[in-house]
Every structure is written in C-alpha cells, then in structure tokens.
A = this chain, B = another copy of it.
Amino acid sequence: MTDWGQHLSKMRETAPLIQNITNYVSMNIMANVLLAAGASPAMVHAEEEAAEFASFTSALTINIGTLSAPWVRAMEGAAAAANKAGTVWVLDPVAVGATGFRRATGTKLLEYKPTIIRGNASEIMALGGMVASGKGVDSADSVEAAKAAADELANATGSIVAVTGPEDYVTDGSKAFVIANGHPTMPLVTALGCSLTGVVAAFAVGQPPLDATAAALAYYGLAGEVAAEMASGPGSFAVQFLDALHNITPEALAHGAKVQLA
C-alpha cells in the first residue's frame, strides 16, 4: 500500500519557498495555508521582479483570478524563468472560460509548459477547448465530465492535470488517481482552491509530480474533514482548517488518505 504520508514529511523537511502570483482575494489565506502546511510562501508578482524571483524560488504558482496587463507580463516572465530553470510551476486557470482576456492569458501561459495544472471541472474543460458552462469562478461541470478533458489536456501539454471538486482526479494522461477526501463546506470558504494550488506546488518540489499531487489533494481534503468535525459554519471551518493543516501528521495522512488508481 502506498504511504501517502511520506510526501508530507518530505515537504516539511525542506519547507520549500513557494513564489505565488495569485489573485488579491487569495493572497492572505494562501500564505496562511502554506505556512500552516509547513512551506514558506512569497507573494511576488510585480513585473519588475517576478522573473528574477522565479529564477531562484523552489516552486512557482500562477493564478489568473485577478488579471491586468502588467500582471500578465509578470506571469509570462516568471513562467519563462521557471521553465528555463527547470523549476516546478503550477498553473491555476481561475474562470479561464469567463472572458476573452482570461482565455487569451490561459492559452499564452500553456506555452511555458506548466509542471501541473489545477482547476475545477469547468476550468479544465474550458482550458481543454471543450465547451464548459462556466458561471463565475464556481464550477458548473462535474469532475466526472472533466476527466476526459483532463486526460486530453495532459497529453496535449505534457502537464500533470488535476481536477478538484467533491471528488478529485489527477492524471498524467495515461495514469490517474481519484481522491475522495474533502468536505462540502470547503467551497464556502473563498480561495481554498487557489490556496490548494500552493500546497500542490510545495509537495511537488523534488518529488514525482503525479504522486505528489495526489498526496497533496488527499492531505488538503483530509484537513477539510478534520475541520468539519469542529466547525459550526464557514467562519469557524476556515479557522479549524488552518489548524488541521498544521496538526495533521504524516502518519495521520497515511491513515486517512482516500486515493485510488482511476
């Protein structure tokens, strides 16, 4: 039986520096999530320094949730630097199907070959060029429907593709895992998906990206399960969730991970 907890202990041993170019809504919670998990976050997005920083960070994440022209330039520069340095980078294509500006940016960033792409079902389907009924940043398509799109996107890009939702799916195009951890309160706390992207990046530093992503998804969902036991609404859930990310041990993850080959 696979020990998914080992990926958590390896991540905590190195406490990798994760550079995040992420939307304004998520910056604070994403930094807190990464600190609670055991990584070291840096929110560096200015076009004057994003590429320089990306040349020495342990991993990079790019989230297109709140875009502007200078940010797109910073994203391209950072993605190019990460790609050149062979650094893990993760793309989070928030609401990529919602506007022309997002579609253009999403397509452009794929050229820099993200190590991993993480989105909800609508986002992965939109990015895969399929028709998705996107409504805002929440997902209107099921993970099930997005699996084929994810495999296709993985094969077309060479990226690991993760689709997250009530059930998660992660694939390299030929091998895939389904992760059943999680809790229905998670979508009621804003930017938990964005923050997960950082955790995926942290796990993937120095670890095989498909397995590391599966472990990160299980860890994150397990924290949601633990938090729900103590919470009485989305406010207290968010607090308990950060505590759980900090308190879950590799042993608890090994025991609680619900990961299966797809």
Residues of B near A65 (CB, < 8 A) are: 43
User: Which positions 10-51 of chain A face chain B at CB distance < 8 Å?
Assistant: 17, 23-29, 31-32, 35-36, 40-49
The CA of A70 and the CA of B66, in the complex, are separated in Å by: 14
User: What residue in chain B is nearest A243 (Cβ atoms)?
Assistant: B233
Is residue A251 within 8 Å, beta carbon to beta carbon, of the partner chain?
no
Report how far A47 CA is from B69 CA in the complex, Å. 9
A247 within 8 A of B: yes
Contact status B136-A99, CB under 8 Å: no
- The reply to whether the CB of A174 lies closer than 8 angstroms to some CB of chain B is no
Known: A24-B24, A235-B242. A69 touches B48 (CB 8 A): yes
Interface bits A92-110 vs B (CB < 8 Å: 1, else 0): 0001001111100000000
Please tell me if the beta carbons of A17 and B135 are within 8 angstroms of each other in the complex.
Answer: yes
Instruction: Give chain A's interface residues, CB within 8 Å of chain B.
Output: 17, 23-29, 31-32, 35-36, 40-49, 52-53, 57, 65-70, 95, 98-102, 135-138, 187-191, 231-236, 238-247
